[in-house]
A and B are shown apart, each in its own frame.
Chain A
Amino acid sequence: DGGITQSPKYLFRKEGQNVTLSCEQNLNHDAMYWYRQDPGQGLRLIYYSQIVNDFQKGDIAEGYSVSREKKESFPLTVTSAQKNPTAFYLCASSISSGQGNNEQFFGPGTRLTVL
């Protein structure tokens, strides 16, 4: 059963704590993305990666870090430097970075709450 999995579904963080959100895909997609969605708002790009061992900052990268050591995995760390991390985090993937059939699919999301 192909798809994108994210874990955990819900995550609670204390002030000053780093947390890591998992994202795995078995679609053999080259590109992976992390977005943040606040209530009633659109999607904002945090980081994206086109190939293994390479990634680029999106529009709101401050306070976040990522790694891309394997094609199927793209974990996101929310650091203590992110002052307002409570949000819905969405991981996505697409086939390639070129034009054409580059549909993007989303995982189920992780809802992060700061206590």
Chain B
Amino acid sequence: QKEVEQNSGPLSVPEGAIASLNCTYSDRGSQSFFWYRQYSGKSPELIMSIYSNGDKEDGRFTAQLNKASQYVSLLIRDSQPSDSATYLCAWYNFNKFYFGSGTKLNVKP
């Protein structure tokens, strides 16, 4: 069974803080990892993709991948109330994408 484990939260952080979201996966063969943001009632939106070990930064977002430990994380710097959403991690292997159940993030003004 290919699984993705995420803490469902909610994770509450004050405005301006760093939000840290984590995800562990079970299949060592995967090469591609993704983070999606999903607002309530909307479809998921791709915010980060990462394919190699280390960090990848895009604006206020940093994705971190550690294949040896089988985890991928997302850091959101200077969190804003508009970042309040559910964040889904996903990985790809053998023609399919596997999704975690998501972590709900609340950023308090």
Contact = CB atoms under 8 A, between A and B. Distances in A.
A50 B95 contact: yes
A100 B100 contact: no
A101 B46 CA distance: 13
A112 B90 CA distance: 25
Given A42-B102, A109-B43, A48 B49 contact: no
Contact of A100 (B32, B88, B96): B32
Nearest to A41: B101
A104 B97 contact: yes
Given A104-B34, A106-B44, A45 B96 contact: yes
Contacts of A42: 88, 99-102
A101 B32 CA distance: 8
Interface residues of A, number: 25
A31 interface: yes
Contacts of B92: 99, 102, 104
Contact of A106 (B45, B95, B96): B45
A43 interface: yes
Interface of B: 31-32, 34, 36, 42-46, 49, 51, 88, 90, 92, 95-97, 99-102
Given A43-B44, A43-B99, 6 more contacts: A42-B99, A100-B31, A100-B51, A102-B92, A105-B46, A107-B43
